[in-house]
Structure formats: structure tokens, C-alpha cells
Amino acid sequence: MKNHITLGEYIIENQKDFQYSSGEFSRLISSIKLAAKVVNHEVNKAGLVDILGDHGETNIQGEKQQKLDVYANEIFLQTLINREIVCGVASEEEDDFVIIEGKNKSHDNKYVVLIDPLDGSSNIDVNVSVGTIFSIYRRITPLGTPVKIEDFLQPGNMQVAAGYVVYGTSTMLVYTTGNGVQGFTLNPAIGVFYLSHPNMKFPENGNIYSINEGYYIHFPQGVKDYLKYCQEEEEDRPYKARYIGSLVSDFHRNMIKGGIYIYPTSSKAPQGKLRLLYECNPMAYLAEQAGGEAIDGYRRILEIKPTELHQRVPIFVGSKNMVNKAKEFMVQYPEDANY
């Protein structure tokens, strides 16, 4: 094996990357790293859960039978709470944000974390890759007081870090602090993440489009027109259709190979499906840091001012030229009356 540096070493060597307190940030990332390893372990043996359950073991504990996304939520939350390094967490699996008191109930921690603990969880049953997505902000309310909703409702361009874990054929942690995107692969034998994909970049052009085309009939006309464009016979088209149904995995593949991921509005889901705060914003930040783009069809995702914790938003994210081409089709129609 090549002499790769570890995630821990990378954070220490690149402390200048993080414009705020690097000590706190490295503790934060290392708690995410730890939770990711625990979840990875559980995801890897997901197919055994029922077998173990038959032996009664899980019934007594009552824990292993929980759906894995609830389990992942608990692991990430507990890890962040126990280490007392953040002042609040918002999660897809929690109705409201969670206030974390910190040392001696002081409320003096600076960061909030927003998280999708298990993304693509419906894929677990069929052994397809899933992920975790996280987004980190500095709080805006005064230190020493409990966090408030406004600490979580910051536009994506205020993120100080974002990333995802993909539990795939290998497990990777990919993150940015605003200085490019770094990808680390877990060596499961020793539980260490190594820098395997330094400075990841979306190719400017790509030939993959990822969208749930089954809902075609419900899509806005601009999306229908763009899909037609993707399928036309031209020098570099038709493009390939690839849709796993796990945002993290679809994004990860497209970042490596070049492509666009679209989850548009539809007549069935007028705001789209994916959540702004813990799915679209972190992915948009990563995409831009990797030279790609992320829009809601008309405007930059990172400039949207959130109004609700679980707000949904349409997303077009990926290779720059592909996202811009899709936008050309979208702007042909008014934003809200185009089905």
C-alpha cells in the first residue's frame, strides 16, 4: 500500500485550512469519524440483523431491531453530545433541533451540526450503498446561551465545513472546509481513514445524468426539455442514465466521473424532495469546492435563505457545464407554473 497520510494527520497538517479554532474543529471531525466507523460496522452486517434477531439477542436489547437510520441518528447524536464539542444538532430524524449544553452546562461551544444520518436508507435492504451527510456552521447567537433556531437557518454560504460518508464497496469520508475537497478511504482492518482522493474535482463536462425518470410525467417542462437534450443523438450524446437512489452515492460517482444529479420539483412534490439544510447545502458546498455547481434550477443553492429546519428544495448539482446547460432549459419557463 502507498504511504498515504491518515485523516488525523491531515487535519493536523492542514490546520490553517480552517479559519476558526482548529483544535475544536479537529475534535469535531474526529467525532464524526468515530460515529462513521460505528455506523459502517453496523451497515456492513445489516443483512445479518434478522438472523441475530432469531436468536433472541436483539429482542432483549431492543436496539438492533431499530431501523438503521434511527440507529445511525443515535450514534451520531450521542457521539457529538458525549464529546461536548458542539452546541446543537439538527437531524433528519429529529423533529426539532437538539440543544447541547457543553461542559458544565456552559453553552459555550461554537458549532452547530446538521445531519442526514443515513441517506438512501431504503437501499439498505438490497445491499446498495448508503451514506451520511453533514453540515457545520458557527453559531450566530451569543456564546453562553442555548442555541436557537436561527443558528441552524443560516444560508449554505455560511457553512464552515461539510461532508459525507459513503458506505460503499469501500467506505469513504469526503469533506471540505472551504479549501477544496478531500476524500479519505477507510481501511476496515485497522479502522483508519487514509487520504486516497486528494483535491477531488468534478470534471467540467460529463456524460452521466442521474434523475428518477419514473416521475417524468410530473416534472416541470424545463426538466423534460433538458432530459430530451440528454437523450439526443449528438457528438457526445446521448448521455448515460445512472440513478442509484442514494444522493451520496450518485453524487460521489458523478464527482469522480462527471455528471449531473437532479431532484426537481414535480406536480407531486412542489418543493422537491431533498432537504435544504442537511442534504442540498452540504452537497452544494462540496460541489462548488470541487469546481462544480449547485442550483435549484434558477439560483445558487448556497444563497437560499432557509426558513424551516426540514425545508425541501429542488436541486441540480454536478459538473459545471451540465448544470449550466440544464439551467438554460429551466429559465425558458416561469418558475412556478410550468408542469
Query: Any contact of residue 273 with ligand AHG (CB under 6 A)?
Result: yes
Other beta carbons within 10 angstroms of residue 292's beta carbon come to 30
Scanning 17-25, 50-58, 87-95, 309-317 for contacts with Mn ion by CB under 5 A, the matching segment is 87-95
Q: From the list 25, 28, 116, 312, which residue makes contact with Mn ion (rule: CB under 5 A)?
A: 116
Query: Any contact of residue 312 with ligand AHG (CB under 6 A)?
Result: no
Residue with Cβ nearer ligand AHG (139 or 224): 224
Containing H/E element for 36? helix 22-44
Query: Any contact of residue 119 with ligand AHG (CB under 6 A)?
Result: yes
Query: Any contact of residue 289 with ligand AHG (CB under 6 A)?
Result: no
Q: From the list 26, 73, 246, 319, which residue makes contact with ligand AHG (rule: CB under 6 A)?
A: 246
DSSP 229-293: HHHS-BTTBSPEE---S-HHHHHHHHHHH--EEEE---SSSTT-SSBIIIIIHHHHHHHHHTT-E
Q: From the list 172, 247, 277, 284, which residue makes contact with ligand AHG (rule: CB under 6 A)?
A: 247
Minimum gap (Å) between residue 121 Cβ and ligand AHG: 4
Scanning 72-80, 97-105, 244-252, 289-297 for contacts with ligand AHG by CB under 6 A, the matching segment is 244-252
Distance CA 206, CA 72 (A): 33
Minimum gap (Å) between residue 124 Cβ and Mn ion: 11
Scanning 47-55, 218-226, 242-250, 330-338 for contacts with ligand AHG by CB under 6 A, the matching segment is 242-250
If you search the block for the grid coordinates 476524500, which residue do you land on?
A: 183
110 Cβ partners below 8 Å, 6+ apart? 20, 21, 24, 87, 138, 139, 143
- Order across the sheet with 260-263: list the strands: 240-241, 208-210, 260-263, 315-318, 293-295
Residues in touch with ligand AHG (CB under 6 A): 92, 116, 119-121, 212, 245-247, 273
